Structure formats: C-alpha cells, structure tokens
Structure 1
Amino acid sequence: MRLAPHVVTAAAAISVALLAGRVYQPAQAEEVPVMSSAQMAAMEVQAFAAANAPAGMTAPEAVPVQIRRGETFEQAVRRTGVAPEEASAVAATVANAFDLADLRAGLRFETAIAKPRDGRGDARLIGLTMRTGPASQLTVSRSFDGALRLRSLEEKVTHETVVLKGDVERSLSASARELGATASIVRSASRLFATKFDMQRDIRASDEFTMVFDRDVTEAGRTVGVGDLMYAELRGVTFYRFKPAGAKEAQFFDASGKNLRSAMMRTPLQNFRRVSSGFGFRTHPISGYKKMHQGIDFAAGSGTPIVAPADGVVVEARRWGGYGNWLRIRHNNGLESGYGHLSRYGSGIRAGQRVSQGQVVAYVGSTGASTGPHLHYELWRNGQRINPAGVRTQEGTELAGGDLAAFRAEKARIDRIIASGGQKRPALQQASADGLRPVRG
C-alpha cells in the first residue's frame, strides 16, 4: 500500500509514542486491507492524535524548512531546534539515497518536530519528507527502537493528451482553470483568442471552448509536467499548432492552413472592467476643455498586465509629461502602439528590445495626468494617430506544398484525439522530458 508522505511521518510519531510508554507486544503478520482515500485521511487524523506523548515531549508539530543561500542541509535541519548530532544523523541518513550536494537554495522540505514539555533542551525530529523529483520523494521516520529509517517513494507517471471542453461561466480563464488547465495553457489560449475577439466584450456566458495539451500526471492525480497548447477553439474559431519545415518555432494555423501569427490582437489587455473613454472629441476629465482624445482608455485595476498586440521593437520606455510612464512599440505594416499612465514596465523592457505578440510589456497604473488606474492606448499608422478600434491587419500567409500536406496530417491527428476525448499512456521518461515543463508551486 502506497502511503502519502505525511501519513508516513505520522506513523513514525506513533512509533515514538509506543516506545515511550507502552508494553512491547510480539509483532504478528496480518494482511493489510485495501483502504479508500477517506479511510487513509481518517488514519492520518488518528495517527497524529495517537502521537501526542513522546516521553517528556509535546505532540509533534509540522515545521516547514527552506534551505537558505550558502546553507547546508544539515544546517537547515538544525534550525528546527534539534541537537547538532541529530541533525548530522538525519543528513547522513538522507545522503544514503540522495547527493546532498545537489540541493539548492530555496528547496523546501517538511519536518515533524516534538519539543521538550518543560521548554528546556533540544527538540526531537519525528519525521522528515523531501521531494527529490517531480514524482519522487524521500521520507525519514523513526522505527520502534528510535532509529532513523529512510524510505524512497516513487509514483508512477502517466502521459496524457488532455481534451478540455466547457462553457464560459464567470470568465474563460476561470472556467478553463476549473476544468484542469494550467496557468500557462490559459495564457497561451487567451493570446490566440485575443487576435480574433475582444475578450471583455465579445465573450459571453455559455460560449463553448476547447483546449488540447499534453501533461504528465502522477498516481495521486498531481500534474508534474505540462506541454505546449496543441489546439484551441472558441465560438467555432479554431487554432492548430504546427511547425513548418525550417521554422525556428511552432506557430498556429486555422483549419485551412492560414498562419494566424501576424494578426494584431484586438486589445492589449485581457482583463479590464470597461472602455472608459473612446477615440474622438471629449471633455477632458482634468482640464475641463473639449479636445480630441487620440486613443482608447481601458479602466482596469492597478498592476493589470499589458501585452504586446503584435511582434515589434520597443522604441521608447520613459517618462513623458501627462502620459506618465510611457511605452511605444514599433510593429510591421507601418504601425506603432503607445501605452500611457503605466505603473511599471515588464521584465527587460527598454528601448531596442524585441517583443513578441502576447508578451507582458507593462502594467496598468495611474502615473502622469490621470484620475485613476487605467490604460491609455494609442495606435499610429505611418506617423499618424488612428482609432485602434478600427484597425484590421492582414493575417499570415497560407501553407503550401509539403508544409500543407504535413499540416493536414497533424490536423487529422489532433482531430482524432479530440474525437476520442484524449489519450493516456505510461510516461517512459521524467516529466520534464518530451517538451513538458515542470509545474511550479
């Protein structure tokens, strides 16, 4: 029977309690019954309750530990309050199965610690659990004689091609996450859909969506690796991932093989409350004069991410009068985009920096002449300001020849996966292989 790590730690605590105050009984071999997850949870509760009486010690408490910069594993264990010799013994035990030199600052592990009831003396380590890989971990516990015992737990991993289908409820992002999509998959799909839809005004409740992607899942149902978005559909608009011969990276195409990569996104914000001011004449909220408003204002919370609507090069990222923190990006086809009142810029954003469509370039703020957090968004064509709402850009070219034939074969494969509801197969390699990214947090 495979036990969750915290159950193993709790079982070790029982061992200490038995050693401390109960009469030894000869062990008798008994068949271990199959337990449900609910029964195992109940066992965990009982185990912790039963482990409340190591001689002269308090009940074990969970103490999370994170290794600090320049700190060894033994030093990190010592910070839980245990004696130096005990920390050394724990480190030596773990070293039997794992090279402690491979540990890096920031790694976390869990300990169960009992403290002296009178507040004097060293604490005692009852158990320790440390994850050593996406689906593996080491557990240190105490046997009946008080000695440290090491167990290595390895979960089987299944490689899945997942087909998520659902209806938009509160938002596309929230609905997809509830069905099991990761944050990276939701971001990728939202960037694609934003080339076709205004994500705030065009998307309504009950709109259907589909997302297809690879992931690695452990026996416990925990996602330990995720691949790239393979297919996305919203309101009948489809996107297929395909890498043409000689291309540096995969791109997305519609069902006919037309490249969607060069399309301009409808808005640079995927989350905003409303359009607070459109393009045209208006009474300025600060000066009170009627004047031309040469952009669109999006009301949004401070810190809301702003993305590049298309590939381009940063022309300027600086303070500019009433615009406050200002950003301007040059795109293809004579277009430039501008962003005002920013709270801050995205990572690495500076003049001369290349950006890609959907990349976070800045964050909503209220700097400069502003009455509250919002984004002022402008577009130029050949040096003249134009209405962003009226821009239509030519989409990419269509595939032909061998690339078109290869795309059709890939499209047929994806369509079969969707029709079958997904695929599952044993993962032959670790979750970080085959293009899968480990899931953090």
Structure 2
Amino acid sequence: MLSKLTLSNLSKFKSRSGLWAIIANTGWLFGDRILRMAASLIVGVWIARYLGVQQYGLFNYSLAYVTLFTPVLTLGLDEIVVRHVVKESFNKEEILGTTFWLKFLGGIASVILAVGSTVLLGERESLKISLVVILAVAGIFRASEAIELWFQSQVQAKYSVIAKNIAFLLNSLLKVGLILIHAPLLAFAWMTLAEMVMCAVGLVIAYQIKGNSFWLWRWSTTVAKNLLKESLPLIFSGFAIMIFMKIDQIMIGQMIGDQEVGVYSAAVRISELWYFIPAAIVSSVAPSIYAAKDKSETSYYQRIRRLLQLLNCISLAIAVPMTFLSDKIIAVMFGSGYAEAGTILAVHIWTSIFVFMGFASSPWFIAEGLNHVSLGKNVFGAILNIILNYLLIPQYAGLGAAIATIISQASAAFLCNAFDKRTQKIFKIQVQSLIPFFKH
C-alpha cells in the first residue's frame, strides 16, 4: 500500500515538474520575444525614420525576397528534429550533427537561389543586388540553430535565449551607432549578417557550458534520409508560408514601387510583431502534445483544444484594440510619411486570428503524420494569395495586399480543413475553440 502511494505521489510530482518546466520554458521564450519585440520595435522604427520611406522600402523588399528562400535553409526540420531528439535522446549527436550539416548546405543553396534568381529576373540595380547577397549569406549561419533545437527538446529555452539575446542587444546598439554616424543603407544589411554570426557563436558557447560538445556531432546518411523524407512536405509548405508572409511586399514592389513597400512594411511590422506569442507557446507545449499522443488519446486532444482556445483568445485581444488604435500608433511611431499604413494595419491585424490558429494546429498535423496534407492546404493558400494580390494591388495597393493576406490565411489555416475527411476532426476542434468556455 505504501509503495502504491509512493508511486502515485512520484507520478504526480513528475507531472507537476513537467508542467512547471513547460511554464518556465514558455516564460523564457516570452521574455526573449518581449525583449526582442521592444528593442527591435524601437530600433526598427528609428531605422525606418532615418532611412525614409523609399530606402526603408528597398531594404524590406530585398529582405522579403531573401526570406522567400528560407525553407531551403531550414528544410522544415525544426519540429521534426525536436520530436526525434525527445524520443531518441541517446542518439542526439547524430541527429544534431546531421541537422547542422543539412541546414548548412541548405543555407548555401538558398544563397545561390536568391542571388541567381535576382540576376535571372533582370535586376540591374547594384544596391538591390548587394542587399540580396549580404542578407542571403546571413542565412548560412542559421545552421547553428540545431543547438537551439536541442535546448527546445529538453525544455531549457533559457540557455539559447540568453545566448541569442546577448548578440541581439549588442547588434541593436551597433545599429543605433550606424544611425548616429549617418551610415548608408548597405551598412544595415552587413549588421544583419553580423548578428547571425554572433548568435551562432553564442549558441555554441551555451551548448559547451551545459557540458555538451559540438565536436561530438557526426553526420549520418541514414538519419539525413529519414529527416528529409519526413520534412519534405514541410519544405514545400514552408515555401507556401513564406509566400503568405512576403509575396505581398515583393508584388507591391514590382507592381507599384519601393515607396509603397515602405508604407506597407511599416504596417506589417506592427501586425506581425505579435507572432512571437504562438511561436513561443507552441514550441514549449509541442513536446508534451507528442508525448501525450503515445499515452492517452483523451489527454492528447484535450491539450490541442486548450492550446487552440488560448491562442484564439490572445489573438482577439490583440486584433480588436489594434483596429481602433492603428492610425495613432503609426503616426506616433513612424511619423506622417507613413500615414497610409494606419488603414493597412487596421485590416492586416486580423490575419493574426488565422496565423495563431495555424500555429496551434501544427503539432496535430505533425503528430498525425499529415504533413503532406498541411502542404496541400498551404500551397492552395499561397496560390490564392498570389491571385488575390494580382487582382487587388493595382487598385488598392497595400490595403488590397492586406485583404488578400487575410482571405488566403483563413482558407489555408481554417476553411480547407472542413473539406478533407482527414482534417475534419481538427476543423471541429478549431470551431469549438472559437466559442469561449466550450466544453467537450
């Protein structure tokens, strides 16, 4: 009897310990994102005012173009690697080492694609080409994020948070210095590259301090094949997501001009500022959802439902006040030169409802092995986004792009799930999660 009670108490203790680990991990991720949000907002707005609408638009156009190729350097590996390390911690050196080299090769490939396509598309402006080259090369150093995935799998985000934030804060101060010395636009691109290098160094140091050795990592062709086989749908899905996020700025730049990109980018900067919230919460909760699936179907779906309810409530709490305060926020932060961004922000902010919902649903698709279905939805949404941008941007400029983004995000993250038998279960949970205090 005593042993049963002891085991029961031990089980409860482990459960509570796991819960507190998730809460603490989420707290560190939130602290990281809030610090970054505040600093990047202050410095970013300062840079926007310093550069002016035209150059700010040029920088964001180049950044958006490079970002389109992010799926090539990340290879859709992040959540998959976390899940594999959780289940196969004994094999972490092979998993992490293989992940590092895959991301490194992906980074090189993304540089070739970004720069090559820029030239092939007939771009002749040397400044724009230089911006694309520098910003693309910065992505190579993201291979070090394999270390961050290890910390995520162990629910120990604080170590990667500290390492990356030291680099981020130092880089922010250097950017302020660039403004004070009246540096040219290209200097800010070089500083973006410098931040990636500093983050990589910081992560390696944090990993070593925790008693691990980067030098023990090793390549495994078998692991690489398994990871890529599983992540392939996510790579294409990542392209679709990047089209969601960035094609509007590229199409505005191509169809109207860099100045309108600057105005639109100011609105999007505020609207997308909040996306750190679902990213932080899901990255902390996802390992527990994967673990719950192997133990209890009831607990598994209960966690997914609660995650959706939480993120839906948060997104509404952001969207409603932002709608009414958008003009004042843009005027105070960016100045009169960006005044048109207020209306765009009031519309674009509602995209967050479906972005948050997509984040909350992603662990379900991975756990159910439906990455290919997620790919199909995102490809459909991306194509829809391009079509709507093509139709709406000429007449409504940035406002048309914002409307196109909302419709395409709603279709991919929510509505498409209703028309596929394999996803109708998650659609039902999504609908239920939109109703406050719904009880299954």
Whether these two folds match at TM > 0.5 is no
More strand by share: 1
Q: Please identify which structure carries the higher helix content.
A: 2
Give 1 or 2 for the bigger CA radius of gyration.
1
> Normalising by the residue count of structure 1, what TM-score does the alignment of the two structures yield?
0.20
